[in-house]
Amino acid sequence: MTSPFPENTSATPPPGCPAHGLGPDGLRRLYGPEAEADPAGLYEKLRAEHGEVAPVLLHGDIPAWLVLGHSANLAAMRTPSRFSRDSRRWTAFRDGLVTPESPLMPVIAWQPLCVFADGEEHRRLRGAVTDGLNRFDRRGIRRYVTRFADQLIEEFGASGRAELVSQFAEHLPMLVMTQLVGMPEEYGPRLVEAARDLMKGTETAIASNDYVVATLRRMMERKREAPGADLVSWLMQHEAGLTDDEVLEHLRVVLLAANETTVNLIADGLKMVLTDRRFRAHLSGGQMTLPDALDQVLWDSPPMLLVAGRWATGDTELGGQQIKAGDMLLLGLAAGNADPAVRPDLSTPLFGNRSHLAFGSGPHECPGQDIGRAIAETGIDILLTRLPDLRLAVPEAELTWTSAWISRHLVELPVSFSPRTAESAPTAAAPPVVPATPTVPAPASPAAPAAPAAAPAPESVAAVVPRQRRSWWTALTSVFRR
């Protein structure tokens, strides 16, 4: 089969054109309103038209292959000799199709990180990260989750109402991660605000990113003087001999990878336990436990819809398509999880079955999956224990999601419950972890990242930070959240 990719990829139908979801030569776009309104529907159209691997168009109508089959995804993930993680191989870069302003750049521009490395260099960088993550005691992680979940519940418990995406799911993972990374507790609230600001891609995102960088640098200076049992110290001490910049960048990758994905897992997990009759039945001795519910979410609504990507090291074949050297592949995690070859009936429950693609597979398989699951599982469990009559405050049909090409987010999860009294709240009077008035993190100098500077107006921050200072991380988070 010859390549279905058109020679000229620059033409774009005007907005409002009935064929807006289609690009040149009738190829389907993976971006734009049509694709983002119903990603699962798009994957099924592509599967019907092309089988396991489909040609698609990315922002700017740049061609790529979307891997839809479960086994084709595993093949791409597990054979790095054929499908590399090194984006510098991409022919679209070589041909000048990807401009520096392209929204693809934050995700795809090569960086000296384990995420973009293959072979020995990947083992060196990833080894330092995994050795660090594996040193955490799982019970210790659960204790942190319990403490922070209790503090969050205390913030809204007395009111009898809450919006669990913004008041719970978006806070918990970062609060726990600050402890694992080794930051003093007082950094938690501002880092959570900074991370949320970054995720939303607001005008103050650059200042927030600067705050995070300065905080991490400050942490590294402190830990050099007084190492502790934390990821900063372990990365700096690791025999792989990471440079300071490598330590900093990998700390950021860990924070980002952990936060974005785990926020989604908590939000969708909560939605499932509040709406799925099988879970309610479990509470009275029925079929679905909380770990089962999370497995089901990881199958049906993986926190990342796809991983971008892999690049063919030579001409090869995958799922019946001829892939050319330098072509880009997108690993369709959500599409692979819905492959009829492994799930002929999507309504059949998959409790206890962990062969989903949500954490990837092969050499880049997520090294933080146990931590992500522990945060989600313990956090939801604490919420259900403290607020036993927790219920959705709106009809399920009113819940909405926003999507981008990489991920999909539950917008709001309004709930109601019996207000908690002083007697029913946890005994220890924990300090609030969410500032009463959310603040915009101020741009902070590396010398004083924790200084409580007055929050500047959003416009002034955006105006004073030059565009070229936008980091990969800042930009990537805005792509996730749009």
Report d(CA 261, CA 302) in Å as an integer. 9
**Between 127 and 414, CB nearer to ligand HEM:** 127
Is 265 among the residues that bind ligand HEM (CB under 6 A)? yes
> Residues 6 or more apart from 204 whose CB is under 8 A from it?
197, 440, 441, 458, 461, 462
Part in contact with ligand HEM (CB under 6 A); list of ranges 24-32, 91-99, 363-371, 387-395: 363-371
Part in contact with ligand HEM (CB under 6 A); list of ranges 146-154, 258-266, 317-325, 389-397: 258-266
Is 358 among the residues that bind ligand HEM (CB under 6 A)? yes
E strand map for 59-176: 62-67, 83-84, 161-163
Structure tokens at 312: 């063919």
Part in contact with ligand HEM (CB under 6 A); list of ranges 2-10, 19-27, 256-264, 420-428: 256-264
Q: Which of 364, 386, 409, 481 binds ligand HEM (CB under 6 A)?
A: 364
Residue 220's CB is within 10 A of a number of other CB atoms, namely 18
**Between 150 and 295, CB nearer to ligand HEM:** 295
Q: Measured from the CB of residue 209, what is the shortest distance to ligand HEM in angstroms?
A: 18
Residues 226 to 255: which contact ligand HEM by CB under 6 A? 253-254
Part in contact with ligand HEM (CB under 6 A); list of ranges 182-190, 366-374, 403-411, 450-458: 366-374
**Between 336 and 449, CB nearer to ligand HEM:** 336
**Between 30 and 255, CB nearer to ligand HEM:** 255
Residue with tokens 């918990």: 172
Query: Judging by beta carbons within 10 Å of its beta carbon (0-12, 13-18, 19+), is residue 417 exposed, middle or buried?
Result: buried
DSSP structural state of residue 22:
B
Sign, CA torsion 83/88/91/97: positive
**Between 47 and 250, CB nearer to ligand HEM:** 250
Yes or no: say if 325 and 314 are a contact pair by the CB < 8 Å rule: yes
* 56 Rama class: left (phi>0) / alpha (psi -120 to 50) / beta: beta
One-letter amino acid at 171 equals H
Phi, psi of 306 (to 5 degrees): -155, 160
**Between 243 and 421, CB nearer to ligand HEM:** 243
Q: Measured from the CB of residue 337, what is the shortest distance to ligand HEM in angstroms?
A: 11
Report d(CA 438, CA 223) in Å as an integer. 29
Q: Which of 54, 129, 183, 476 binds ligand HEM (CB under 6 A)?
A: 129
Element spanning 309, H or E: strand 306-312
**Between 172 and 205, CB nearer to ligand HEM:** 172
Nearest residue to 308 (alpha-carbon basis) of 121, 92, 132: 92
Residues 274 to 303: which contact ligand HEM by CB under 6 A? 303
Part in contact with ligand HEM (CB under 6 A); list of ranges 39-47, 232-240, 337-345, 364-372: 364-372
Sign, CA torsion 41/44/45/46: positive
Is 321 among the residues that bind ligand HEM (CB under 6 A)? no
Report d(CA 460, CA 462) in Å as an integer. 5
Yes or no: say if 375 and 133 are a contact pair by the CB < 8 Å rule: no
**Between 60 and 367, CB nearer to ligand HEM:** 367
**Between 331 and 415, CB nearer to ligand HEM:** 331
Is 27 among the residues that bind ligand HEM (CB under 6 A)? no
Q: Measured from the CB of residue 320, what is the shortest distance to ligand HEM in angstroms?
A: 22
Is 30 among the residues that bind ligand HEM (CB under 6 A)? no
Is 55 among the residues that bind ligand HEM (CB under 6 A)? no
**Between 126 and 420, CB nearer to ligand HEM:** 126
Residue spans of alpha helices (H) in 301-410: 333-337, 369-386
Q: Which of 5, 31, 168, 359 binds ligand HEM (CB under 6 A)?
A: 359
**Between 257 and 323, CB nearer to ligand HEM:** 257
Residues 403 to 442: which contact ligand HEM by CB under 6 A? none
Residue nearest ligand HEM (C-beta atom)? 368
Residues 63 to 102: which contact ligand HEM by CB under 6 A? 77
> Residues 6 or more apart from 347 whose CB is under 8 A from it?
none
Q: Measured from the CB of residue 146, what is the shortest distance to ligand HEM in angstroms?
A: 17
Residue with tokens 């020995």: 120
Structure tokens at 188: 């938690």
Nearest residue to 16 (alpha-carbon basis) of 34, 28, 29, 30: 34
Question: Binding residues for ligand HEM, per CB under 6 A?
Answer: 77, 114-115, 126, 129, 133, 253-254, 257-258, 261-262, 265, 303-304, 307, 358-360, 364-369, 371-372
